[in-house]
Amino acid sequence: MHTSYISCQVYEIQRTFPIRTAHMKSLVRLYNSLSSCNTTDETSAMLRNTFELASAEDLHWLVAILTDKYTQKIVGETRLKAWAMQESNTPQWLFDECRAVVGNNIETISLLVDGDNTYADEDNSHADSGNTYADEPLHEFMSALHSLTKLTSDAQELWVLAHWRCMSHDERFILNKLITGTLRLGVSKGLVLRAQSEVTGVTDSALPYPFCLASPFDISPHDLGNVNDWQVEWKWDGFRAQVVIRDGELHVWTRGEELVTELLPELHGPQSLHALSTLHTLPTPGTESGVDLRATRSLVLDGELLCFESRGSTGYAAVSFRLKAKSSSVAVVSDNPVVFMAVDILEYNGVDLRARPLSERRVLLEKIIGEISAHATANRSPENNTLHSNHSPLNCAFQLSPILELRTWTDLSALRDEANRNEREGLMIKRRDSIYHVGRVRGTWWKWRKELFLIDVVLVSAQPGEKKRTRPYSEYTFAIWKEGQLVPVARCDLGPDKDRILEVDAFVRLNTLERFGPVRTVVPALVFSMGFHSLERSSRHKSGVSVRHPIIYTHHRDKKAEDADTIETINAMLKEQERRSKT
């Protein structure tokens, strides 16, 4: 194809959508700002601030990008790689070496190309002044990207190269992610939609409520006062979630505010929806004559996602597998059927119940789950049985978390011992008059986990945190001894201690053995004490086991790698756990 024809195509699209870097600068600032947020509140504030500065058209694109809905692939990584290698005169072998260090193609491509902002300065002298969404509309740039699909491959190359040359490394990285349809900013969909709702004033009926969290139980049971003022339940070993039913649609949200509805057909199948649709006749706490039937029919439940089989719940790993599975096929559902263990009710028929006492909410919850269960049992048949009775002993996908009998505070320790035996995660202790708070309010809800297993482990590899493309190395793999070799047993961070993170980061950089993309293996010299709540057999791990909720405690500066625990110690713990479960 003639260069003059290609240039005409590029000129036409650049005439309509001239090269400007402010679009990328805005997205880069958003990307870096979100990466630096350490709490949910910080992330929410950042999103609100961003949305308030955006026009209605730009807000549409921002929400699409943040919720991973923009996945259009305009140019593939293979073509970008070829263009970058030609632009930077980089041979294949050198690109491969760079890629091995960096960890992925997009980052490597962004680093190889040299930009000097010359084009941007000539074409858009105000690019660095007033880089607001109003000055440089994001939606115009996204329209330009979409117009790339109408160009030939050669014209696309010239357009991309022109932009690369006038962008910084971070801007090229975001652009490359956009045109390959792989930009992921790592923010939960729930946070994005809630921030959008707060800014626009338009309520999304699918959104969950902020979760009420419990505080670690670090006091004596006798400090709680009258035992009759408290309600005790199992702390289930599953995924915390809310089931939101509004406007005739059911949505399932995890505590991380990820929408997982489509992965759990047993919760939103015809049988469950039919049962839930009959719940508009029950009275609502705080009203004299029941609910106003003209109100929007709705139901919001708080609880845990669990997998069940004939002997009971199968633990966190089975639920995790279901939520990470790429499909919800009949085979996947049949092998790991999920139920929703309801612990609280937050909304009913348009009435927000969170300010009502727990005791009142519990009465309504028992009635609702009772009706759902009765309906499911009466209509259970092989044709509509989504739980597959050959795996699950339950008749309904919605279950009620039982209240445990508690006469004296001495009984509490006995119940915790029982949790150790029956694979529960521990106990939940709640004031009967407590409201459903936002977040963690000390003194109303407590969580008393079962006793931790403790082992000594060795740091064997590290990589940067998920939110960070660069420093520091803050995610670590720890190992134990098996047949004379160190085998990985857990992967976790070191907690919020920044000084310890920086100390280990420095060790990783000075004691690297090999590099595999972003991962560095290190000299096995640092020994830590690690606690965890339970063990599970795992064919995916070289050690043969996986640990639940690993927590790093002490850095044993006086111990050497050979002092770490062995697989025999882990197997003994696993056998004891299985023995307790059977009894």
The CATH number for 502's domain is: 2.40.50.140
Q: Are strands 445-449 and 426-431 parallel, antiparallel or unpaired?
A: antiparallel
DSSP state string for 404-448: PP-SSTHHHHHHHHHHHHTT--EEEEEETT----SEE-TTTEEEE
Q: C-alpha angle 179/185/190, rounded to 5°?
A: 125
What is the extent of the structural domain holding 253?
Answer: 212-448
Q: Is 385 inside a domain boundary? A: yes
CA–CA distance, 36 with 465 (Å, rounded to integer): 11
* 10 and 140 assigned to the same domain: yes
498-521 per-position pLDDT tens digit? 788 888 888 998 898 988 877 889
* 19 and 153 assigned to the same domain: yes
Q: Six-digit token pair at 299?
A: 């139901």
Q: Six-digit token pair at 303?
A: 């609880």
Half-sphere exposure of 71 (CA within 13 A, CB side): 3
| pLDDT at 406 (0 to 100) | 85
CA–CA distance, 197 with 461 (Å, rounded to integer): 42
Residues 6 or more apart in contact with residue 572 via CB below 8 angstroms: none
- Percentage of the chain beyond pLDDT 90 is 15
Residue with more model confidence, 580 or 284:
580
Distances (CA, A) of 463 to 364, 474, 500, 512, 522: 48, 6, 15, 11, 11
Half-sphere exposure of 354 (CA within 13 A, CB side): 15
* pLDDT interval class at 125 (50, 70, 90): very low
| Domain endpoint, select from 164, 179, 194 | 179
| pLDDT at 242 (0 to 100) | 92
249-282 per-position pLDDT tens digit? 888 888 877 788 888 888 876 555 555 555 545 5
* 236 and 137 assigned to the same domain: no
Q: Is 70 inside a domain boundary? A: yes
Residue 295: pLDDT above 60?
no
Residue 121: pLDDT above 80?
no
| pLDDT at 537 (0 to 100) | 76
| Domain endpoint, select from 448, 466, 498 | 448
The three-state secondary structure class of 311 is coil
* Residue 132 and residue 185 in contact, taking contact as beta carbons nearer than 8 Å: no
Q: Is 204 inside a domain boundary? A: no
Identify the CA nearest to 48 among candidates 210, 188, 198, 204: 198
516-549 core/surface letters (b: 16 or more CB in 10 A; e: else)? eebebbbebebbbbbbbbbbbeeeebebbbbbbe
Q: Is 186 inside a domain boundary? A: no
The CATH number for 274's domain is: 3.30.470.30
Residue with more model confidence, 76 or 132:
76
Q: Is 201 inside a domain boundary? A: no
* 156 and 305 assigned to the same domain: no
Q: Six-digit token pair at 273?
A: 């929806």
* Residue 83 and residue 155 in contact, taking contact as beta carbons nearer than 8 Å: no
Identify the CA nearest to 113 among candidates 79, 52, 164: 164
518-560 per-position pLDDT tens digit? 788 999 999 998 888 777 777 777 778 878 778 888 888 878 8
* 107 and 227 assigned to the same domain: no
Residue with more model confidence, 320 or 456:
456
C-beta neighbour count of 440 within 10 angstroms = 13
* 306 and 422 assigned to the same domain: yes
Q: Is 552 inside a domain boundary? A: yes
* pLDDT interval class at 477 (50, 70, 90): very high
Q: Is 130 inside a domain boundary? A: yes
Q: What's the whole-model pTM score?
A: 0.63
Q: Which stretches within 54-188 are classed as H helix?
A: 56-66, 77-88, 92-102, 105-112, 118-123, 138-147, 153-165, 169-179
* 278 and 324 assigned to the same domain: yes
Return the DSSP state at 91.
Answer: -
* 156 and 255 assigned to the same domain: no
The CATH number for 110's domain is: 1.10.3260
Over residues 228-247, mean pLDDT: 88
6-41 per-position pLDDT tens digit? 455 555 555 544 555 566 777 888 888 887 777 777
* 437 and 458 assigned to the same domain: no
CA–CA distance, 241 with 231 (Å, rounded to integer): 20
| Domain endpoint, select from 402, 432, 448 | 448
* 511 and 419 assigned to the same domain: no
How many domains is the chain partitioned into structurally?
Answer: 3
* 162 and 120 assigned to the same domain: yes
455-477 core/surface letters (b: 16 or more CB in 10 A; e: else)? bbbbbbbbbbeeebbeebbbbbb
* pLDDT interval class at 192 (50, 70, 90): confident
Over residues 118-125, mean pLDDT: 42
* Residue 104 and residue 178 in contact, taking contact as beta carbons nearer than 8 Å: no
Q: Six-digit token pair at 547?
A: 């640990």
* 171 and 246 assigned to the same domain: no
Q: Is 200 inside a domain boundary? A: no
Over residues 58-68, mean pLDDT: 83
* Residue 479 and residue 488 in contact, taking contact as beta carbons nearer than 8 Å: yes
